[in-house]
């Protein structure tokens, strides 16, 4: 990019109040329609969760950390709870692990649907797909309400297992929802991936080569969209992922279309995982009671979980009190946002491409702000 | 000007005033346009309310991109100090008869982040008309909040 | 499945940097933690990236041990080949919180180092733009994540 | 001193003298028709979009199916405050939204609704006059974008200019195809020439190019680049509030009305159609309105099916694909005119 004198460069700010920017302000330096650099200005929803968690014991701590990504609550609560269990040195019963995997995969579907809809909206105000994805979340929310009691922030995971048992009555309803969802996935593919205008808007836009993806630190589906097969569920199987066979999905091209295709295929994969988890879920206890006032042994634990947006890690350090001494949360969106900000230096970006690229990374700014 | 004409004119003016209030109140009630503005973590629930099952557009509530045309500033979810300065700026840019609505437990009294150093309450920043408690509140609660706002809009013409 | 790869990595590090390494241990399978003297940080980092292929940066964090009057800066690294997480730690005194920035080794630590500076006040020497990342622009409330920062004290902003 | 009732009587017989002109201007192709069309189009689009999104759309505004929703919007906007940004150019800021609907409505006077029911015959050159007037329309978004002194609006007004370049020439070339088939520029003669067969059949390629040109000119979905909410907040309408904003929204629908009326006159045989129970004038108008309803429904359908082009893709389509097709269509028109004149 030739160094433009500051006179010609126009800095546009997509403030927090902008149809396409969530809780973030994105500064874009453009010269006409060409984008010179993108600066995400985050921190608008910084609630200081890491400081708050130092004031909560391990059972209370699930509530604030779950609000980091409201769409994908279970995976984040899982990483917090697994870190606590690792320090306490206890292992939840088998049935609880299966229930956890089911709820985590449902959260992955909910989160990918949300990212999917926003990507459709970003490509050109294509309201139908965004509202379809909102409609297709309703059946899953009803199921979650039946199991955990609430639609979004479940607070269902507790160190030592799950809060309540998986009601066997809704097994058929669950499987029926999955069948319905697979027809809807077919409808998405016909209406969206075979739409010529969307292909012209998303294909080879924002190309991320594999070595750039690793160097800049892309996370989750964006990494796998460039052909790098890094998935914590396979590299370091937690809960019962080693007993479930599923495929790690990668796409070689690395453009916005590939990233969305990875998310789409991961939804298909999640449906398979849920089916297997429901079939061979053992009976037995669903929780090993751990009193919240129990003193944590001195020690530390770093738990990694594959959330819908990428790999999230919780590093919990305890000095013997009932409350953890320090909790460090490794947020995937902060890494994705850095990749987005380096995009104009890698490929040629037009102003109309910025929303397409930004929402192909599926950012969730509350996750970056903590 | 005889006394009779004056009273007749006053009656005519009063009738016109009542009719004007009724019609404009009805118009404003059924066309509340919130701006595309999400401040916190209750936004997936607000999308469900805009979604097909609960569909707030039945009441004529259509989110519009620009703040100039909006007449409801909806604070959805937690309000941090950095976002609060923007909310203040937006509130001043909105065209008159404007209303404000706070959705979620956080704008009411900081919700689950009661001891956070960067979370503020909504009424410290802008005068709020309707509060909807819940974390996140159920979609029916949000729609009830909008209906309370509609009643308030209609009476307060 | 044992921990041969992890032990091999620790041997490789120990053989090259005897004096620089204060301690190196395997916490559990796929978790290594090494503590490095502050002045040798740069060489160890370059060695880790080039020879041992730790090319993916997860994040950068810090811990404030106020009783021992020291900060501990932690770099969370992942090797995309062996899929092992390595925590590169270094201890710095609380009154002189300076540490070399590893941005020339891993470009992705840019935002993480800015956040750690903002939360703890640890200056990373050599970082191109150590500016506010998460806190509001007009924040003078000190460094929030330090232990001497009282919670729910809202004098900032 | 001229008394009041004398003035009234002279005005009345002036109106009685050319009653037809006043009906044309005020009622059928004039003010009332445009306002009713805009109200119905706004309601239809919101309801139709909601259906595509599996939603119900406006429902409680008018008890039956929310048909009073546009009226509720208008009443609310009517009493809203108009904000003019401090460093905006006040006069141009007010001028642009006021004149834009006027210019786009001006083009409707040339469209024939029946053999003798046209406001201004245009002395034989009404097609050229139509393009001349509608060529002015993209000027006002430029003025509005410049006057409201906001980065989003400047980008959006430049995009309107790009889009107008991309769409004008294919439109003109495909209209030339129709002129060759009829041999005259007068819209009424064009419609008369289609009595045997509508021009959409021989000039099919021209109809496609013209249709895509309409989408670009009236900024409907695949080409609504100047008002791309996702990139530049609301395009050149960002700074308008209150009644000025309502005028800009009306301008969009009037543009859609005028361009689809032209498409009907050129390709779908204007007011041609079987005479229904003996009243030629009413049946001619009826056919125009039916064709108009079908065409606008199709254009509004596109909003639910397509995302949006980038501005460089739109220009590429305009220049690389539409112009060659339009030229091929002209050759076909010449061949049809010379070798099989009996078809037309």
pLDDT, position A3: 57
- The answer to whether D230 and A124 have CB atoms below 8 angstroms apart is yes
D72 touches chain B (CB under 8 A): yes
pLDDT at C2 over 70: no
Residue C91 three-state SS: strand
Q: Say how far residue D208 (Cα) sits from the centre of its chain.
A: 17
A139 touches chain B (CB under 8 A): no
- The answer to whether B113 and B89 have CB atoms below 8 angstroms apart is no
Taking all residues of chain A, what is their mean pLDDT, rounded to a whole number? 89
Best probe of the D interface among B68, B151, B154, by most D CBs < 10 A, is B68
Q: How confident is the model at residue C155 (pLDDT cuts 50, 70, 90)?
A: very low
A292 touches chain D (CB under 8 A): no
Residue D203 to residue D208: CA distance in whole angstroms: 9
Topology of the domain comprising B31-155: Rossmann fold (3.40.50)
D84 touches chain B (CB under 8 A): no
- Which of A325, A328, A369 is closest, CB to CB, to C61? A328
CA distances from D61 to B48, D49, D261 (A): 22, 17, 30
Contact list, C141 vs chain A (CB under 8 Å): none
The residues spanned by each domain of chain A are 48-369
- The answer to whether A105 and A277 have CB atoms below 8 angstroms apart is yes
Look at the block and give the residue holding tokens 């192909």. A360
- Beta strands A10-14; C21-28: pairing state: unpaired
Interface of C with A (CB under 8 A): 27-28, 30-31, 55-59, 61, 63-64, 74, 76, 78, 80, 83, 85, 87, 106-108, 110-112, 115, 119, 132-136, 144-145, 149, 151
Contact list, B114 vs chain C (CB under 8 Å): 152
CA distance A330 to chain C (A): 6
Residue D25 to residue D151: CA distance in whole angstroms: 40
Which chains are adjacent to chain B, needing at least 3 Cβ pairs under 8 Å? Answer: A, C, D
Residue A354 to residue A361: CA distance in whole angstroms: 11
pLDDT tens-digit readout, A315-360: 999 988 889 999 999 999 999 999 999 999 988 888 888 989 999 9
pLDDT tens-digit readout, A123-138: 876 678 888 888 999 9
Task: Encode chain A in three state secondary structure.
Answer: CCCCCCCCCEEEEECCCCCCCCCCEEEEEEECCEEEEEEEECCCCCCCHHHHHCCCCCCCCHHHHHCCCHHHHHHHHHHHHHHHHHHHCCCCCHHHHHHHHHHHHHHHHHHHHHHHHHHHHHCCCCHHHHHHHHHHHHHHHHHHHHHHCCCCCCCCEECCEECCCCCHHHHHHHHHHHHHHHHHHHHHHHHHHCCHHHHHHHCCCCCCCHHHHHHHCCCCHHHHHCCCCCCHHHHCCCCCHHHCCCCCCCCCCCCHHHHHHHHHHHHHHHHHHHHHHHHCCCCCCCECCCCCCCCCCCEEEEEEEEECCEEEEEEEEECCCCCCCEEEEECHHHHHHHHHHHHHHHCCCECCHHHHHHHHCCCCHHHHHC
D48 touches chain B (CB under 8 A): no
CA distance C132 to chain B (A): 12
Number of structural domains in chain C: 1
Beta bridge partners of C92: C71
C144 belongs to a structural domain: no
The residues spanned by each domain of chain D are 1-79, 87-339
- The answer to whether C157 and B81 have CB atoms below 8 angstroms apart is yes
CATH number of A48-369: 1.10.645.10
User: With touching defined as 3+ CB pairs under 8 A, do chains D and A touch?
Assistant: yes
Of A1-15, A218-232, D45-59, least confident by mean pLDDT is A1-15
The residues spanned by each domain of chain B are 31-155
pLDDT tens-digit readout, A38-48: 999 988 999 88
C151 belongs to a structural domain: no
CA distance C63 to chain A (A): 7
pLDDT tens-digit readout, C56-78: 999 999 999 988 999 999 999 99
Q: How confident is the model at residue C154 (pLDDT cuts 50, 70, 90)?
A: very low
Arithmetic mean of pLDDT, A225-245: 89
Q: pTM of the entire structure?
A: 0.90
CATH at C46: 3.30.460.80
Residue B101 three-state SS: strand
Token pair, residue A54, equals 């130092």
User: With touching defined as 3+ CB pairs under 8 A, do chains C and D touch?
Assistant: no
Q: How confident is the model at residue A6 (pLDDT cuts 50, 70, 90)?
A: low
Q: How confident is the model at residue A5 (pLDDT cuts 50, 70, 90)?
A: low
Is B39–A23 a contact, with Cβ atoms under 8 angstroms apart?
Answer: yes
CA distance B91 to chain C (A): 19
Look at the block and give the residue holding tokens 């009630």. B29
Contact list, B55 vs chain D (CB under 8 Å): 50, 55-57
Contact list, A141 vs chain B (CB under 8 Å): 48
Which chains are adjacent to chain D, needing at least 3 Cβ pairs under 8 Å? Answer: A, B
Report residue B125: phi and psi, to 5°.
Answer: -105, -55
CA distances from A48 to A51, A62, A196, A332 (A): 5, 15, 44, 17
Contact list, B57 vs chain A (CB under 8 Å): none
Pairs across B and D, CB distance < 8 A: 96
CA distance A101 to chain B (A): 22
Residue C69 to residue D27: CA distance in whole angstroms: 86
pLDDT tens-digit readout, C18-27: 888 888 888 8
- Count of CB atoms situated within 10 Å of the CB of A279: 10
Residues of chain B with pLDDT under 70: 1, 157
Residues of chain D with pLDDT under 70: 1, 344
Is D83–B68 a contact, with Cβ atoms under 8 angstroms apart?
Answer: yes
CA distances from B149 to B47, B152, D59, D262, D275 (A): 19, 5, 18, 45, 53
Contact list, B26 vs chain D (CB under 8 Å): 72, 75
Is D75–B68 a contact, with Cβ atoms under 8 angstroms apart?
Answer: no
A108 CB-contact burial (10 Å; exposed 0-12 / middle 13-18 / buried 19+): buried
Best probe of the B interface among D51, D66, D75, by most B CBs < 10 A, is D75
Contact list, C156 vs chain B (CB under 8 Å): 81, 117-118
pLDDT, position D114: 85
D333 preceded by a cis bond (ω within 30 of 0): no
CA distance B80 to chain C (A): 9
Contacts of D269 (CB under 8 A, 6+ apart): D191, D194, D195, D198, D199
Report residue B121: phi and psi, to 5°.
Answer: -85, 155
Token pair, residue C76, equals 């969370």
Token pair, residue C45, equals 């980092």
Long-range contacts of D323-329 (CB under 8 A, 24+ apart): D323/D169, D323/D170, D323/D173, D325/D170, D325/D205, D325/D208, D325/D209, D326/D170, D326/D173, D326/D174, D326/D176, D326/D177, D326/D205, D326/D206, D326/D209, D327/D173, D328/D205, D329/D173, D329/D174, D329/D177, D329/D203, D329/D205, D329/D206, D329/D209
C1 touches chain B (CB under 8 A): no
Number of residues that this document lists for chain B? 157
Using the CB atoms, write b or e for B112-140: b if 16+ within 10 Å: bbebbbbbbbbeebbebbbbbebbbbbbe
Is A43–B113 a contact, with Cβ atoms under 8 angstroms apart?
Answer: no
Beta bridge partners of C59: C76
pLDDT, position A274: 94
């Amino acid at each position: 990019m030739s160094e433009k004198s500051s006179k010609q460069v126009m800095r546009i700010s997509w403030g927090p109040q902008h149809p396409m920017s969530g809780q973030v302000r994105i500064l874009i330096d453009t010269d006409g329609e060409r984008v010179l650099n993108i600066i995400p200005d985050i921190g608008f929803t910084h609630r200081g969760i890491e400081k708050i968690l130092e004031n909560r014991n391990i059972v209370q701590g699930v509530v604030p950390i779950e609000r980091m990504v409201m769409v994908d609550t279970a995976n984040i609560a899982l990483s917090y709870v697994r870190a606590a269990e690792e320090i306490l040195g206890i292992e939840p019963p088998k049935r609880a692990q299966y229930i956890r995997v089911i709820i985590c995969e449902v959260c992955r579907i909910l989160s990918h649907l949300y990212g999917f809809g926003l990507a459709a909206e970003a490509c050109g105000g294509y309201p139908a797909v965004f509202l379809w994805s909102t409609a297709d979340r309703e059946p899953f929310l009803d199921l979650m309400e039946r199991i955990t009691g609430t639609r979004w922030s479940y607070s269902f995971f507790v160190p030592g297992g799950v809060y309540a048992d998986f009601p066997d009555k809704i097994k058929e309803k669950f499987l029926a929802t999955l069948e319905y969802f697979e027809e809807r996935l077919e409808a998405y593919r016909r209406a969206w991936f075979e739409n010529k205008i969307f292909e012209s808007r998303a294909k080879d836009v924002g190309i991320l080569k594999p070595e750039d993806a690793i160097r800049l630190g892309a996370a989750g589906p964006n990494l796998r969209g460039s052909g790098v097969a890094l998935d914590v569920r396979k590299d370091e199987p937690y809960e019962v992922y080693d007993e479930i066979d599923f495929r790690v999905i990668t796409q070689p091209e690395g453009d916005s279309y590939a990233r969305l295709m990875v998310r789409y295929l991961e939804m298909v994969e999640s449906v398979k995982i849920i089916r297997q988890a429901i079939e061979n879920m053992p009976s037995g206890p669903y929780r090993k009671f751990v009193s919240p006032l129990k003193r944590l042994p001195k020690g530390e634990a770093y738990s990694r979980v594959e959330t819908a947006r990428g790999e999230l890690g919780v590093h919990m350090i305890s000095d013997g009190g009932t409350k953890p001494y320090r909790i460090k949360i490794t947020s995937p969106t902060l890494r994705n946002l850095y990749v987005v900000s380096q995009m104009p230096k890698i490929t040629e970006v037009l102003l109309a491409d910025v929303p397409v690229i930004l929402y192909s990374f599926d950012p969730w700014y509350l996750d970056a702000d903590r | 000007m005889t006394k009779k004409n004056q009273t007749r004119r006053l009656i005519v003016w009063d009738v016109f005033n009542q009719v004007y209030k009724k019609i404009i109140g009805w118009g404003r009630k059924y066309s509340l346009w919130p701006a595309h503005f999400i401040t916190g973590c209750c936004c997936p629930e607000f999308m469900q309310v805009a979604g097909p099952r609960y569909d707030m557009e039945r009441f004529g509530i259509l989110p519009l991109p620009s703040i100039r045309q909006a007449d409801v500033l909806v604070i959805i979810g937690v309000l941090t100090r950095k976002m609060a300065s923007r909310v203040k700026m937006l509130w001043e840019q909105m065209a008159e008869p404007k209303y404000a609505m706070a959705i979620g437990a956080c704008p009411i009294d900081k919700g689950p982040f009661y001891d956070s150093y960067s979370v503020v309450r909504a009424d410290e920043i802008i005068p709020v008309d309707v509060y909807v408690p819940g974390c996140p509140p159920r979609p029916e609660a949000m729609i009830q909040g909008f209906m309370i706002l509609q009643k308030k809009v209609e009476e307060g013409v | 499945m044992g921990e041969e790869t992890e032990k091999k990595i620790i041997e490789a590090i120990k053989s090259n940097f005897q004096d620089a390494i204060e301690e190196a241990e395997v916490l559990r399978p796929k978790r290594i933690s090494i503590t490095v003297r502050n002045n040798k940080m740069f060489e160890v980092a370059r060695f880790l990236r080039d020879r041992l292929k730790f090319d993916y940066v997860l994040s950068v964090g810090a811990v404030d041990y106020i009783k021992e009057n020291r900060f501990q800066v932690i770099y969370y690294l992942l090797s995309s080949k062996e899929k092992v997480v390595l925590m590169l730690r270094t201890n710095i005194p609380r009154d002189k919180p300076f540490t070399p920035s590893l941005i020339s080794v891993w470009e992705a630590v840019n935002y993480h180092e800015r956040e750690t500076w903002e939360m703890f006040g640890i200056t990373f020497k050599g970082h191109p733009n150590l500016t506010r990342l998460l806190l509001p622009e007009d924040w003078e409330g000190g460094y929030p994540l330090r232990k001497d920062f009282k919670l729910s004290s809202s004098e900032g902003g | 001193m001229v008394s009041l009732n004398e003035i009234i009587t002279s005005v009345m017989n002036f109106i009685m003298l050319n009653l037809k002109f006043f009906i044309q201007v005020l009622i059928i192709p004039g003010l009332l028709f445009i306002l009713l069309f805009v109200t119905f189009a706004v309601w239809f689009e919101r309801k139709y979009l909601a259906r595509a999104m599996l939603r119900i759309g406006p429902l409680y505004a008018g008890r039956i199916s929310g048909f009073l929703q546009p009226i509720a919007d208008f009443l609310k906007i009517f009493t809203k405050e108009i904000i003019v940004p401090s460093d905006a150019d006040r006069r141009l800021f007010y001028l642009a939204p006021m004149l834009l609907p006027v210019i786009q409505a001006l083009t409707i006077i040339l469209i024939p609704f029946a053999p003798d029911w046209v406001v201004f015959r245009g002395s034989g050159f009404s097609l050229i006059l139509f393009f001349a007037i509608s060529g002015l329309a993209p000027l006002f978004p430029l003025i509005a974008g410049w006057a409201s002194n906001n980065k989003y609006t400047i980008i959006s007004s430049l995009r309107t200019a790009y889009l107008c370049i991309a769409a004008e020439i294919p439109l003109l070339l495909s209209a030339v195809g129709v002129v060759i088939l009829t041999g005259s520029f007068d819209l009424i003669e064009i419609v008369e020439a289609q009595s045997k067969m509508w021009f959409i059949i021989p000039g099919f390629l021209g109809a496609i190019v013209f249709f895509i040109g309409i989408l670009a000119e009236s900024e409907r979905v695949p080409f609504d680049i100047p008002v791309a909410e996702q990139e530049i907040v609301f395009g050149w309408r960002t700074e308008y509030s209150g009644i000025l904003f309502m005028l800009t929204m009306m301008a969009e629908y009037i543009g859609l009305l005028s361009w689809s009326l032209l498409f009907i006159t050129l390709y779908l045989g204007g007011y041609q159609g079987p005479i229904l129970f003996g009243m030629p004038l009413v049946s001619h108008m009826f056919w125009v309105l039916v064709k108009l309803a079908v065409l606008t429904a199709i254009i509004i359908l596109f909003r639910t099916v397509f995302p949006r082009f980038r501005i460089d893709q739109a220009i590429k389509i305009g220049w690389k694909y539409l112009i060659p097709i339009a030229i091929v269509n002209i050759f076909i028109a010449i061949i049809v005119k010379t070798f099989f004149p009996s078809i037309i």
